[in-house]
Amino acid sequence: MAMKRFPLEMYATLELNHVEFARTGNLIAQTPLGAEFTAEAPCENGMWVCADRSKGVVASIEDVNEPIGVVYTAEKEYDDRHYGLKYFGRKVAGDYPRVGILEKGDTMTTNCLQYDDGEFASEEALFEALKAWKDAPVYVVPVVGSPVPQLTATKPAEGTFGKVCKFYTVPNGERGVKYQITNI
């Protein structure tokens, strides 16, 4: 059993459908990324992180019961040949991402996800499960030690998690998942 990333061309993208942190201002914008983010493993939009100002860095989740935020930094166009959401993800240690603290009811669409190939044997099996989300729920859960949330058919007992509400596309046209945070 190994974790696999949701299929994407380059970097993950995120569309905020309805989020409370934009209205309430419950966000972190002046805390740098930790050393775990490098050019080989950049911070991407849609990642779930712990944005703890007391530790002075934005880092992977250490405990599923701590406040979890989603990275939603504004995309940049680097040049005329590389434009669009899938080319933005070059945030490395020391950069300052924008992180919104998740609240119950927040809804977003992203392809920043991973899945366990022991639970979903292939991409096709994952896509079939996502298409049947009304009959058999699929959940989005934090992964301790990883900023990429996981898709699973097992409902978590505690902590922050979301429930898939549509197998969809992200703004750049790639496959994505729309989910709503159902527990904090």
Task: Tell the burial category of 16 from Cβ atoms under 10 Å away from its Cβ (0-12, 13-18, 19+).
Answer: middle
Mean pLDDT across the chain, nearest whole number? Answer: 89
The residue type at 22: A
Domain that holds residue 130: 3-183
Calculate what percentage of the chain has a pLDDT beyond 70.
91
User: pLDDT confidence of 122, banded at 50, 70, 90?
Assistant: very high
- pLDDT in the model for residue 114: 97
Total count of domains within the chain: 1
This prediction's pTM: 0.90
Who's near 76: CB < 8 A, 6+ residues apart? 88
- pLDDT in the model for residue 94: 82
- pLDDT in the model for residue 85: 55
Q: What is the mean pLDDT of residues 148-174?
A: 93
Q: What is the mean pLDDT of residues 152-170?
A: 94
What does the pLDDT look like over 52-108, one tens digit per residue?
777 788 999 988 778 899 999 876 665 666 555 555 666 778 888 999 999 999 999
Instruction: Give CA–CA dist 156/43, Å, rounded.
Output: 25
- pLDDT in the model for residue 183: 93
Instruction: Give, as one character, the DSSP assignment of residue 156.
Output: P
The residue type at 166: K
